[in-house]
Amino acid sequence: MLLIDTSVWISVFRDRSDHIAKQLETLIAKRKVLLTRFTQLELLQGSLNEKKWILLSTYLETQDYIELTSHSWQAAARIYYDLRRQGLTLRSPIDCCIAQSALDHDLLLIHNDRDFETIAQVRSLQHFRFQP
């Protein structure tokens, strides 16, 4: 199973040639894809207008999501804490939550965000940097 980060979806939605979408389809290859509520939030907040909001919201309602548990929140905070203690800073603590979701459910995280590579320095995060 795969967890696809917002950074990948943004590339797909911005690509007018469908080249990136085809690359992602090949990578997915009939595997189950999951999202986090953070991805839902980040994609919707980037909607350009009401029409695109409705279209995207309707699409996102049909997707499968993984949810954080009460343990996950503390574990995500610990990722941030451990990185900071090593002198490493992330751009967003949300990425710790997304990474913890992948860790909790033993998912391969597909992303295009350097923060996840930093997180992998302190956790055994299964991840793949999707660079179209």
**Crossing angle (nearest 10°) for helices 19-28 and 6-14:** 140
The string of pLDDT tens digits covering residues 19-58 is 999 999 999 999 999 999 999 999 999 999 999 999 999 9
**Average pLDDT score over residue span 113-131:** 97
Model pLDDT, residue 132 = 81
pLDDT of 95-113, one tens digit each?
A: 999 999 999 999 999 999 9
Do the strands 65-66 and 108-111 form a parallel or antiparallel pair, or are they unpaired? unpaired
Q: What is the pLDDT of residue 104?
A: 97
For residue range 62-99, list pLDDT tens digits in order: 999 999 999 999 999 999 999 999 999 999 999 999 99
DSSP letter assigned to residue 68: -
Tell me which amino acid residue 110 is. I
Query: Domains in the chain, start-ordered, CATH in brackets?
Result: 2-129 (3.40.50.1010)
Residue 49 per-residue DSSP state: S
